[in-house]
Amino acid sequence: MSRRPLVRDLLKEKEADLTASERKLTAVLVDNSMVAGLQSITRLAESAQVSTPTVIRLARKLGFDGFGDLQDAIRDDIAARIKEPLAKLEAADHDTPPDHIVSRFVAGAMGNINRTLERLDLGDFDRAAEMLSDPARELHFMGGRITRSNAHYFFNHMQIIRPRVFLMDSSPSVWPQSLLDMGAQSVLVIFDIRRYEKELEKLASLAEGQGVSILLFTDIWGSAIEQHAEVCFRAAVEVPSSWDSTLAINFLVEALIAEVQSRHSVSSAERISALEKTIGQSRIFRGI
């Protein structure tokens, strides 16, 4: 049985037949590695600044019955793309034996991403993107002993895209000062995987008590912080190592960054331009 063409290839094949609006929509899909196609039809249309009928027309031009079928095809393409590195590694087993740590780690990591995608609720993804994109909200990021780097990575990108973004201090003794200014217009993004940290749970409880919305990234077993979270993402983390892997978590983080970026395309471009100007003036980097 022959495999259907990739959605990306169908878009290229039909390019000459597309209207201006359909080309705008195509650009959003391609620029975001097709991940934008996983959101709701309304969100996708808004991201591309086109109408929902335009999305449906594009789907039909590509040979699909409607947006639902197109979205299923995009999901299949992304899943296949994720599996490709593993397939390539298995094909090169003369160079990398199947019992080698690289083979075993790739198998574990790719499996984690696949299981995380299978569990992903696109409605939750859209809700999280809305929380992170709302200019009226301020964002605070906090990670645990292992996941602090994930929080810092997320913060660094969001701080470039939009204002009112803060990275919380790792010391619990400083948290009351941050909590002092949090309220109903605040979002606290927390990363907590096993071993779950009691201090982070206490922080989440206190923040919830002040009306803060909590966005949680945890593992498949679930942190106790989930009871306080408005949106929770559970990711698979097990690999052949003494430490858990956060690659699947970062997959979700990068997809959210891409979505928020698309919603702040004009303002973030201005911020990035101002940032580049400041970097040039400060001569922090070589060749500037």
Domain of 240, CATH number, reads: 3.40.50.10490
Residue 142 within any structural domain of the chain? yes
Do 186 and 137 form a contact (C-beta atoms < 8 A)?
A: yes
Q: What is the pLDDT of residues 86-134, one digit of tens each?
A: 454 454 445 557 788 888 888 888 889 988 988 898 889 999 999 999 9
What local confidence, expressed as pLDDT, does residue 95 receive?
A: 58
Q: What is the pLDDT of residue 88?
A: 47
**Does 239 lie in the same domain as 145?**
yes
Contact 147, 244 (CB under 8 A): no
Query: What whole-number distance in Å separates Cα of residue 196 and Cα of residue 219?
Result: 10
| Per-residue pLDDT, 216 | 98
Same domain, residue pair 144 and 216: yes
Question: Is the same domain home to 129 and 245?
Answer: yes
**What is the spatial distance between Cα 203 and Cα 186, in angstroms, rounded to a whole number?**
14
Does 1 map to a domain?
Answer: no
Residue 160 and residue 245 share a domain: yes
Assigned domain for 265 exists? yes
- Asked if residue 66 belongs to a domain, the reply is yes
SS3 213: strand
Least confident residue range of 16-30, 35-49, 221-235, 266-280: 266-280
Q: Are residues 127 and 107 in the same domain?
A: no
Q: Output the pLDDT for position 89.
A: 47
Domain-located, residue 148: yes
Q: Which range of residues forms the domain containing residue 99?
A: 84-119
| CA–CA gap between residue 169 and residue 4 (Å, rounded) | 50
Residues 107 and 239 in one domain: no
Report the pLDDT value the prediction gives residue 96, as an integer from 0 to 100.
59
Q: Match 């080309």 to its residue by tokens.
A: 23
Number of domains in the chain: 3
Q: 228 phi and psi, to 5 degrees?
A: -100, -10
Task: Name the pLDDT band for 270 (thresholds 50, 70, 90).
Answer: confident
- The whole-chain average pLDDT of the chain stands at 87
CA neighbours closer than 13 Å in the CB half-sphere of residue 241: 16
**pTM flag (> 0.85):** no
112/165 same-domain check = no
Q: Side chain identity at 206, as an amino acid letter?
A: L
Residues 127 and 114 placed together within one structural domain of the fold: no
Measured between alpha carbons, how far is 52 from 245 in angstroms, rounded to an integer? 38
Residues 215 and 179 in one domain: yes
| Inside any domain, residue 281 | no
Mean pLDDT, range 10-20, rounded to an integer? 91
Whether 44 is in a domain gets the answer yes
